[in-house]
Structure 1
């Protein structure tokens, strides 16, 4: 039944993409983040729904009458360079076949990220995309939170098999990135029942992250929660939600969970932690020896034999930073870090320009919440490996779209095109965005 339902939804929506390519982006987000076919057990489980959606979206956009233009900013240019560098490192990868298989996944993700920027041309479509992402990942947050409460935290919350966040560690990091997006929707909602639903989803997603029993996830949630409170407009309300989540967690989590979390203090005695540290040394040594790093999927036994301080302690790297460093060298690592810096600065720019303008308050809220997501990703990523996860790059591109739709990018345009931008703005442009804001309940 689930197979039929998912297939019917996908094939039912595909024809509409030819007229409105932005629907293809929303469908792809649903398939990419929720992975509904992985909730089935029959023919739909391995169906390439996301690939089919991507092909239809590309064809529809190519033949549409919409203007094809890319928003070139420091973020998009650097991301394109980073993708190109990853292609170069793949040519020199230690394990060519494995590396090309991973590259096939990565470049497709990045293609859809760039297409998102080209196809989503209205603020309301961006708002709907955030709803799709939040609901898709929120499904696992709500489900995992309820599961944790009902079973007293005895079992780990994990993601769907065959996805980027199948493991409990990755699931925790994804949920830490999700909560701020739900908070953004909560701030924009005007209907009380929607606000209560989103508030419940935030609390349950936080509980699910703790229920993953991931020590890195706990650190990610703590950092995200602290920054979320700092960035919140209504700190008292946010405090209540956090207290509820902590109280529920304290009442249901077993002693085994506390014992596991306490091992953070004594990592020298934990074989898993020592294995990660050994993998980090391996990544650094590879980057020091190879300009292009070891390429995708380099953390294999032969690599450890040659580069690790403890050659026979083979362990997954479990760190976005050392994952990129080892696989793409110091050049790739520098690009990865600089992307985060550029995204942070863009968010600061949007917040600074829009926070005192009621008509653009939504942009300030979204930029602030994306910063909170990136804090969770950055802290949790020290101990968790999700360097190529779609959502990270989507958030960076969303920041560019927020700057575009809020008019922030217009202020830097004169330096790029002084003739065009010396003209007065079209009188309908501001009211178009404001009208869209009223329609979606800003």
Structure 2
């Protein structure tokens, strides 16, 4: 039954796109985020629904949709350069088969991030993509939040829709995405036009935010705690009553303490002592290996180059002998361990050029959103009050992702790459650098004075 419902919904979106081709863009965002082909077990799983929606989105824009306002930005050019570099390193990868498997989905994520700003030429379209991203990810998050609230959480135990620990369903990735979309949820609650602000919208929004906060607890992902702490600190920038905000946050934490399982606190306690945790010690050893590898291979080793690593490190182990407790160092040898960091993932796979491109893309995004936020925050005219809050929300979402990406290999995460595409679209819409600073985006050009014709 679930399989037929998913297939019917996807078919309805594709059919509606015959009249409104932009719906095919939303269909691909939905499929790429939820991965219904992994939820279904027969019809949806047998069809290449992702590829169909991908081709429909591009074909609809190229052949049917209007191109007015579509512009190619410098940041899209950087994404294109990163795509070309990934193609080059894939052809010269240390592990060709593994690299080809990762290339199959990375190129689509990068191409869609380059393409989507060309289709987002109006406020409604920008909002529609963000709403689709939030509601689709929200479906997974609500499922996980309900299971956490009813005692179904735990490290490696909490499952959402499918028992799959890849993509957005990976516990640390989902925790990062859940915290990152909270500012976007708030913006949709206050400035949305598809679902205008109202009691029902606010009630659903607050419930969804609560589910987002429950995901790091249910997954017991340490990255989720770091992302939540980072967002709490970053929100101080826009809070008017900071002392009241800090008091409220502290009170909320105290109220939540009795409901958090002991296993969560035990796992979070390993953050303070990373040297005594095997997972953290392995990550640091992998990072050391990656730096040495990049020194010998400055262009990287292609996707999944970590499969060639091998290292030995010492881990403290607690030994109990009767009433005596001692600590001894145990030698541990590990091989083919993943990077567990987007920074080192880029360095090991795409080398120093890839890392520079990746950092440039994200630094430019933070700078562009800050420019929009500062330029538009004092405007009060009709249709001029949503740009600055949206830029701030997208900036916060990106900052949370960057914090989470320090401890997990999500450099090419499709959900985040689409978010970067939305940033490019907002930058183009607000007229940077096309319009002059201070010019109104809806201002009409002054009519030219007619010159007298020569007799």
Normalising by structure 2, report the TM-score.
0.84
Unaligned runs of 5+ in 2: 314-331, 447-455
**Aligned partners of 2:72 and 2:118 also within 8 Å:** no
Cα offset for 1:377? 1.0
Which whole-Å deviations, capped at 9, do the CAs of 1:38-87 have from their partners, x for residues lacking one?
A: 33333323532111111122222222162388523231111111111111
- Distance in 1 between residues matched to 2:242 and 2:37, nearest whole Å: 39
Asked whether 1:332 is paired with 2:339, we answer no
- Distance in 2 between residues matched to 1:236 and 1:365, nearest whole Å: 22
- Distance in 1 between residues matched to 2:241 and 2:123, nearest whole Å: 24
- Distance in 2 between residues matched to 1:323 and 1:77, nearest whole Å: 21
Residue number in structure 1 paired with 2:333: 312
Which whole-Å deviations, capped at 9, do the CAs of 1:119-154 have from their partners, x for residues lacking one?
A: 222111111111110011112222222211110744
Asked whether 1:176 is paired with 2:179, we answer yes
The alpha-carbon distance between structure 1 residues 327 and 69, as it changes in their structure 2 partners (threshold 3 A), is farther
Say which SS state the counterpart of residue 337 (structure 1) adopts. Answer: helix
The alpha-carbon distance between structure 1 residues 263 and 352, as it changes in their structure 2 partners (threshold 3 A), is same
Residue number in structure 2 paired with 1:130: 130
- Distance in 2 between residues matched to 1:19 and 1:27, nearest whole Å: 14
Cα offset for 1:229? 4.1
The alpha-carbon distance between structure 1 residues 11 and 396, as it changes in their structure 2 partners (threshold 3 A), is same
Match of 2:188 among 185, 189, 201: 185
Cα offset for 1:394? 1.9
**Aligned partners of 1:138 and 1:178 also within 8 Å:** no
Say which SS state the counterpart of residue 313 (structure 1) adopts. Answer: strand
- Distance in 2 between residues matched to 1:152 and 1:322, nearest whole Å: 33
**Aligned partners of 1:154 and 1:253 also within 8 Å:** no
Cα offset for 1:318? 1.0
- Distance in 2 between residues matched to 1:381 and 1:126, nearest whole Å: 25
The alpha-carbon distance between structure 1 residues 185 and 153, as it changes in their structure 2 partners (threshold 3 A), is same
Cα offset for 1:226? 1.9
- Distance in 2 between residues matched to 1:377 and 1:210, nearest whole Å: 18
The alpha-carbon distance between structure 1 residues 55 and 242, as it changes in their structure 2 partners (threshold 3 A), is farther
Q: Comparing both structures, which one devotes a greater share of its residues to helix? A: 1
Q: Comparing both structures, which one devotes a greater share of its residues to strand? A: 2
**Aligned partners of 2:21 and 2:65 also within 8 Å:** no
- Distance in 2 between residues matched to 1:239 and 1:4, nearest whole Å: 48
Equivalences, count: 416
The alpha-carbon distance between structure 1 residues 69 and 368, as it changes in their structure 2 partners (threshold 3 A), is closer
Unaligned runs of 5+ in 1: 415-420, 429-442
Which whole-Å deviations, capped at 9, do the CAs of 1:363-397 have from their partners, x for residues lacking one?
A: 11111111111121111111122111112222222
**Aligned partners of 1:282 and 1:309 also within 8 Å:** no
